[in-house]
Chains A and B, each alone.
Chain A
């Protein structure tokens, strides 16, 4: 009986757990404050701002996908509309000299996202699953195509721009230099992350999880899954609007690409690669994907192909994303049986990386012969120069690819054995794995 009671209500957090929890947030604040001191260059500040925007956007997306189980292909609608409204707001504030400072302007974007989520959400969230995915896609196409027709509001192909320094100033912040924008984005990111974390702890957040896992049971308990999905959709739209507003302030422009399918796809990629099962997942994914898209585009021309391949690999091999993969090892770490898996990982790493290198060389060679057929065959990919016309390079790529694949299959079977061994060891010690 006492066991049942203890499993029904979690124990009150102890002092050390509380310290850990608040310490984590405090550490995040300090890290955000210190980052520009450590990396003061303009390029890294821009990168940090982009990452912050992407974190807010991905977390808002995960309210739908991870927490309520709704796969949306049109989340950029709320992001983009938030961005457009904010650009118009900045122009109006600047022209009429309204006493509204820039730091509260992202709230306008959030409210815009909320408004459109309230309007469009009721129809969209009637059903979940594939039907919801299709509706979100249809609505997104509708809004994106309309944006090109309504030229005076959306500015057609070129978009509309604003000057953020013309807004009412407080404390003499002009928001011209990137460092001030960084702090603005960082502050809003922190607020939004805390708010979205708090949302997962509310009864509504718990009902969202229930709707994701078993909507029928939710109905039996007396809730309407449609209403729960609708509320989650509205919150998600609100935070997406904030992300769009921050992006609009950062770039001082909003165009139809903000609303488009590419933007919706990017946030889906970031969230899923990071992992939808944990709150921290989309944050990891946003950081990873932003750095990847900025870094890969310097290293290779066909970075989008690699991007797509990474996404497919995550869907096929690691459906929990990066955080899911890491979190899998937690019970093993606690049971102390992690050491049984690590050697087989190291063995599997060799043929797997050989296969990946072979694939990259093959792709880059093919790209050379199809895109730049007439150019010099000494090409450079990922900083490594090689001769694409050399037959030995071709043979090496083929051997690495095929041989690596064959050997990797064997080594991953070994990993699976070691994994079973380690988890049963963990279970023997009474740790659920």
Chain B
């Protein structure tokens, strides 16, 4: 039992940090541009596939740098030549534009790399067990993922709190119009934020690619969970996104490793239920409902605290 808790906590924090790498960009982009980037998870996928391709040509370490830069450049171009044009047609058009973009990116990735998973391997340098707890080998690569995401988290914190550009971004989170009135080149800041946000998602893609499955449906699987994180944390709140990322990471990881069901707990009391059409609900295990946990959380949050955990503004 203790083993399960320790391992699940480690995995949950890891998954949560990965989610935060993406959610941070998404929530900052939302606060500044007012548009929820539907294609954000697609940049995570692009990061993974670019990482796979570049690590084939030049090795994993160059890929860790080049792939996010590439994806970030594409993201900046999307903002400059796509979103900015659509902006005059309103927020719905912007959201639809990113929706169409997510669809197109998935198709392009399928054309180039196919529908089946690609063979994106953990680099040999990190392919060893880091430590052993309770007879379980914990891979070093996962520790590396955790370190990278924590390093980026700290870097992001320093940039946001200590630098001039961070101050402007922070100001734009709460008072986007005032920042423009003060004479900052809002267009360029938007492009920069969009580029950096998508690059962060791509970093998550590169480091998650070898550990999880690199496949053309990975954006579609993760995208909705990302939105749950942002909405549960509170739209536009970075600390909220951090808390929600960890929460959802832990909830999902713990749920997957649990095998209990209603039938298991109360089965002996009324065995007749198992045969009725309620049997599905009766016999389903917690592990099976793990995929729907984030959405249940979302609906509960929206009923009881519509602005999200740490959000301040109602959109």
Residues of A at under 8 Å CB distance from B? 65, 69, 71, 73, 123, 126-127, 129-131, 133-135, 137-139, 141-142, 145-146, 149-153, 261, 265, 268, 272, 302, 304-305, 307-309, 311-312, 315-316, 319, 366-367, 370-371
Contact = CB atoms under 8 A, between A and B. Distances in A.
A281 to B, nearest CB: 14
Given A130-B36, A142-B298, 13 more contacts: A123-B303, A130-B91, A135-B302, A138-B228, A138-B231, A138-B295, A141-B295, A152-B277, A308-B100, A308-B104, A309-B104, A315-B93, A367-B111
Range, interface on chain B: 35 or more
A138 B227 contact: yes
A142 B296 contact: yes
Contacts of B289: 149
Given A134-B36, A138-B227, A371-B114, A152 B279 contact: yes
A73 to B, nearest CB: 8
B93 A151 contact: no
B104 to A, nearest CB: 4
Given A134-B231, A316-B85, A152 B103 contact: no
Given A139-B295, A146-B292, A315 B97 contact: yes
A368 to B, nearest CB: 10
B89 to A, nearest CB: 4
13 contacts: A71-B96, A130-B235, A135-B231, A141-B292, A142-B299, A145-B291, A302-B111, A305-B111, A312-B101, A315-B86, A315-B100, A366-B112, A371-B114
A130 B103 contact: no
Interface in B271-297: 277, 279-281, 284, 288-289, 291-292, 295-296
B298 to A, nearest CB: 4
Contacts of A130: 30, 35-36, 91, 95, 235, 315
A331 B99 CA distance: 33
Contact of B288 (A69, A149, A319): A149
Interface in B104-160: 104, 107-108, 111-112, 114
B306 A127 contact: yes
Nearest to B303: A123
Nearest to B277: A152
Nearest to B315: A131
Interface string B217-253: 0001000100110110001000000000000000000
A152 B277 CA distance: 7
B111 A366 contact: yes
B315 A150 contact: no
B5 interface: no
Contacts of A265: 99, 103
Nearest to A370: B112
B77 to A, nearest CB: 14
Contacts of A123: 299, 302-303
Given A131-B315, A138-B224, A366-B111, A149 B295 contact: no
- List 5 A-B pairs, minimum CB-CB distance, nearest first: A142-B295, A308-B104, A305-B107, A312-B100, A138-B298
Nearest to A367: B111
Contacts of B100: 308, 311-312, 315
A316 B302 contact: no
B89 A319 contact: yes
A98 to B, nearest CB: 20
A133 B95 contact: yes
Contacts of A152: 277, 279-280
Interface string B30-50: 100001100000000000000
Contacts of B291: 145
Nearest to B107: A305
Contacts of B295: 138-139, 141-142, 145
B176 interface: no
Given A130-B95, A145-B292, A371-B114, A311 B103 contact: yes
Contacts of B292: 141-142, 145-146, 149
A312 B280 contact: no
A153 B224 CA distance: 25
Nearest to A71: B92
Contacts of A307: 103
Interface in B68-106: 82, 85-86, 89, 91-93, 95-97, 99-101, 103-104
Contacts of B235: 130-131
The winner among A65, A268, A305, A309 for most chain B CB atoms within 10 A is A305
A126 B301 CA distance: 13
A316 B299 contact: no
B36 A133 contact: yes
A123 B300 CA distance: 10
Contacts of B86: 315-316, 319
Given A127-B306, A146-B292, A308-B104, A137 B97 contact: no
Nearest to A306: B107
A146 B99 CA distance: 24
Contacts of A370: 111-112
Contacts of A135: 231, 298-299, 302
Contact of B299 (A127, A139, A305, A367): A139
Contacts of B35: 130
B256 to A, nearest CB: 14
Contacts of A308: 100, 103-104, 107
Nearest to B225: A141
Contact of A312 (B104, B108, B220): B104
B49 to A, nearest CB: 12
B18 to A, nearest CB: 19
A371 B108 CA distance: 11
Contact of B99 (A141, A151, A268, A309): A268
A153 B277 contact: yes
A422 to B, nearest CB: 22
Contacts of B36: 130, 133-134
B160 to A, nearest CB: 23
A129 B104 contact: no
Contacts of A304: 103, 107
Contacts of B296: 142
A319 B93 contact: yes
Contacts of A73: 99
A153 B278 CA distance: 10
A141 B224 contact: yes
A305 to B, nearest CB: 4
Contact of A316 (B82, B99, B107, B314): B82
A304 to B, nearest CB: 5
B33 to A, nearest CB: 11
Contact of A261 (B93, B220, B299): B220
